[in-house]
Structure 1
Amino acid sequence: MKPLEIPKRLDIVSGACRFAFFFIIVTQFSINWVSGDLIVRKIFGPEVPTGKYKHPSSFDELDNGDLYLAYYGGAGEYASGTVVYGARLNKGSSRWSQPKKIAGNPFRSLGNPVVWQGPDGLVWLFYVTRFGDTWSTSRIKFKISRDGAVSWSDSALLTIEPGTMVRAHPIVLQTGEYLLPIYHETGHDTELVGPETTSFFLRYNPSNKKWSSSKRIRSDHGNLQPAVAQVDDRHLIAYCRRGGGYEPTTEGYLIRSESRDGGHTWGKGTNSSFPNPNSAVDFIKLRSGRLLLVYNHNMNDRTPLTAALSSDNGKTFSHRMNIAAGQDSFAYPTIVQTEDGRIHVTFTSQERTQINHAIFDENDLLSKPDNKKSEPRESEELK
């Protein structure tokens, strides 16, 4: 199958003025759209033969400038035989490689891969293995690559507690240690996140190669899938997906928790000002020092997918724009700021059968104040 063609960046520049425009691009598989400097395009969809289900995506920029992406695929979320696939976008290329299986188990189903390159060049692949019918039976495993995600080690077990799972990238603390966000999911109802579900973090010391665990983030209705950013050497902020079910609510908010001791202990998770439809988010610190949150600005539906930027260490998020919106679900974002400073976000749509890739600049967000005139607007749907 011919790989997907990625359109070049499209700008109109005249003197000191840049003019926003809208341009439809038709490829063999999809309709992509460009609005101003925001580019959104499809990477993989149902036509790619790794199973209809492709969710959730995780990616990172490697040392050589390639982008490497992982997701789990199969017949559905709880299907038997789901495996983890990887694909690469070579630096300077406009074509993603065809996905290849990078983790599988003939007796178990896998899910939630996280791919990340550490400062020493090792590429880590974290994922979960489900031992029963629901995610609360899962445990975290990992592999490493010493050659830029070309080949992978055998898998190793990271956690033994049933229900431990991973979703977001690790971060490198100012101490040089790695902090991996994980969570403990409870209950066996696929339509309800139990109130005892908690988020926490595994800390890795690259000097002695030992892992340790933080205290847990507890909240009134449970929380999961934390994403974390370090404000300074002692202060960290985490945003977590809310617990509960999927019935309509007027009380669905992202859970926020803070650490004041470098991530060892965490305050109680409380409702933030951001709505959350029981769906994952991502949260990173940009090289400018600003904090970027990508989330669904809705309590009940996974649309729109919105980016919010803070210039005051997470006190306020005064700039906001839509990445995608419309009559679809745009969910499970992963954010990476690449070496050139641009911001990349991957997410899924079309009932978790399609992986999409958005690219924009920090200045695109800075130009959008968060007021009534800049409320998330509907953009063209990704077909």
Structure 2
Amino acid sequence: MLRAQFIFHGTTERPSCHCASIAERPGGGLFATWYAGSREGAADVAILCATHDGERWEEPRVLFDPPERPGGNTVVYRHDDSLWHFVDVIEGPEGWESAVLYLLRSHDGGETWTEAQVFDEEFGIMVRHAPIQLSGGRLLLPAYDEKVWRGFAFITDDEGDTWRRSGWMVAEAGCIQPTIIERSDGTLHALLRSDGNVPHAWECSSSDGGESWTQCVPSELRNPNSGADMILLSNGQTIACYNDSIAGRTPLTLALSEDEGRTWVAKRDVETDQGEYSYPTLIEASDGTVHLVYTWRRERIRWMNFAPEWVTQE
């Protein structure tokens, strides 16, 4: 392991935090986001952020605080020389089922942001993981509908000027929060969160650039109703982070695949104590190392930076 530290500690004003995301800044360094407030879904929940200058994490600050409405899931993504920030805001009394998805953009590494614009007007449309750019240039934003617990992807072929929806990702029980990789043969592979009655993640695939998706089948990764992430590295390996359990959000585990997520050959626990360690986000940095951020007991946001081979080291 290279480095690890907490980048946010719950405060008196904002004791609860969750749902971290991370991206490399166009000018170098890192940019992380998460939501924090008195509790999930409370009106005082705001989106916080912090930057890493290559040496240390700076003090967190408020990025987006919708007045009298709870902020929610936050996803930050680097696209060329800009950062995109997708965020769900609860607009009605039905909790996440009444969330509306917004988009903000930054052209100076996260120092300033455009006004929040509605990305999709339908209630309950949410995100958890960053877009993926396919080898042909198409962008997919993994998304899901909280009302029906089905996944899908927003698709753009014009660098984000216009977006449309893919077909559904459907499981025999609910499936949300997809994370997507593109395999070397051009097919897409998605890993999804299951509902509370299913003790494993779901997986499905697409052979038409994300337009349509196969029926979800059980993944070999245990993951009980909790978020998971998966990235394809530049060296051809795939890393996933998830809760390797049939119940509860511990341990938090890394898994390594040598065949683009078809099988998983190595595992390493990141957290093993009692409590909740959840909602991981992974990125590969330009130096080939991996950055991981996740929720630590709903009280803190933790960051780790490691080389891929650390997953297999004893």
TM (normalized to structure 2)?
Answer: 0.95
Inter-partner Cα distance in structure 2 for 1:365 and 1:208: 35
Once the two structures are TM-superposed, the CA of residue 279 in structure 1 deviates from its matched residue by: 0.5
Task: Name the CA shift for 1:283/1:80 in 2 (closer, same or farther; >3 Å).
Answer: same
Paired amino acid for 1:58? S
Identity of aligned residues (%): 30
Task: Name the CA shift for 1:359/1:50 in 2 (closer, same or farther; >3 Å).
Answer: farther
3-state SS, counterpart of residue 268 of structure 1: coil
Matched, 1:44 2:5: no
Match of 1:128 among 81, 84, 88: 88
Inter-partner Cα distance in structure 1 for 2:42 and 2:311: 39
Inter-partner Cα distance in structure 2 for 1:211 and 1:266: 18
* Match in the other structure for 1:226: 178
Paired amino acid for 1:321? R
| Contact preservation (8 Å) 1:276, 1:298 | yes
| Contact preservation (8 Å) 1:41, 1:357 | yes
Paired amino acid for 2:106? S
Alignment of 1:100-119 (within 5 A): 100-118=61-79
Inter-partner Cα distance in structure 2 for 1:260 and 1:301: 34
Please list the CA deviations of residues 192-211 of structure 1 after superposition, one character each: whole Å capped at 9, or x if unmatched: xxxx3100000123357111
Task: Name the CA shift for 1:106/1:207 in 2 (closer, same or farther; >3 Å).
Answer: closer
Paired amino acid for 2:227? A
Once the two structures are TM-superposed, the CA of residue 218 in structure 1 deviates from its matched residue by: 0.8
Once the two structures are TM-superposed, the CA of residue 107 in structure 1 deviates from its matched residue by: 3.1
Match of 1:148 among 109, 121, 132: 109
Once the two structures are TM-superposed, the CA of residue 233 in structure 1 deviates from its matched residue by: 5.9
| Contact preservation (8 Å) 1:53, 1:74 | yes
Task: Decide which structure has greater strand share.
Answer: 2
Inter-partner Cα distance in structure 2 for 1:355 and 1:65: 21
Once the two structures are TM-superposed, the CA of residue 287 in structure 1 deviates from its matched residue by: 0.8
Inter-partner Cα distance in structure 2 for 1:81 and 1:132: 15
3-state SS, counterpart of residue 136 of structure 2: coil
3-state SS, counterpart of residue 262 of structure 1: coil
Alignment of 1:259-270 (within 5 A): 259-270=206-217
Once the two structures are TM-superposed, the CA of residue 164 in structure 1 deviates from its matched residue by: 0.4
Paired amino acid for 1:136? E
Identify the structure with bigger relative contact order (alpha carbons < 8 Å, sequence gap 6+).
2
Inter-partner Cα distance in structure 1 for 2:301 and 2:308: 22
Which shows bigger deviation, 81-90 or 200-209?
Answer: 200-209
Inter-partner Cα distance in structure 2 for 1:365 and 1:180: 27
3-state SS, counterpart of residue 340 of structure 1: coil
| Contact preservation (8 Å) 2:196, 2:224 | no
Inter-partner Cα distance in structure 2 for 1:262 and 1:367: 35
* Match in the other structure for 2:34: 71
* Match in the other structure for 1:26: none
Inter-partner Cα distance in structure 2 for 1:54 and 1:98: 15
Inter-partner Cα distance in structure 2 for 1:62 and 1:274: 31
Unaligned ranges ≥5, structure 1: 1-36, 187-195, 246-250, 369-383
* Match in the other structure for 1:161: 122
Inter-partner Cα distance in structure 1 for 2:38 and 2:237: 39
Task: Name the CA shift for 1:185/1:40 in 2 (closer, same or farther; >3 Å).
Answer: same
Please list the CA deviations of residues 275-310 of structure 1 after superposition, one character each: whole Å capped at 9, or x if unmatched: 112110011110111111111000111111111111
TM (normalized to structure 1)?
Answer: 0.78
Paired amino acid for 1:356? R
Task: Name the CA shift for 1:355/1:208 in 2 (closer, same or farther; >3 Å).
Answer: closer
Inter-partner Cα distance in structure 1 for 2:272 and 2:69: 35
Once the two structures are TM-superposed, the CA of residue 114 in structure 1 deviates from its matched residue by: 0.5
Matched, 1:254 2:201: yes
Unaligned ranges ≥5, structure 2: none
Paired amino acid for 2:188? L
Over aligned residue pairs, what C-alpha RMSD do you find? 1.6
Match of 1:54 among 3, 17, 27: 17
* Match in the other structure for 2:139: 178
Matched, 1:201 2:153: yes
3-state SS, counterpart of residue 128 of structure 1: strand
Give 4+ residue runs of structure 1 displaced > 6 Å after superposition.
none
Once the two structures are TM-superposed, the CA of residue 268 in structure 1 deviates from its matched residue by: 0.9
Please list the CA deviations of residues 109-156 of structure 1 after superposition, one character each: whole Å capped at 9, or x if unmatched: 1111111111x2111000001112310111110100111111000011
3-state SS, counterpart of residue 136 of structure 1: helix
The structure whose Rg is larger is 1
3-state SS, counterpart of residue 309 of structure 2: helix
Corresponding pairs, count: 313
Please list the CA deviations of residues 15-65 of structure 1 after superposition, one character each: whole Å capped at 9, or x if unmatched: xxxxxxxxxxxxxxxxxxxxxx36432221124x65111111111111222
| Contact preservation (8 Å) 1:173, 1:233 | no
Match of 2:219 among 272, 276, 285: 272
Paired amino acid for 1:225? Q
| Contact preservation (8 Å) 1:81, 1:107 | yes
Which shows bigger deviation, 299-308 or 98-107?
Answer: 98-107
Please list the CA deviations of residues 343-366 of structure 1 after superposition, one character each: whole Å capped at 9, or x if unmatched: 11111112x111111222111224
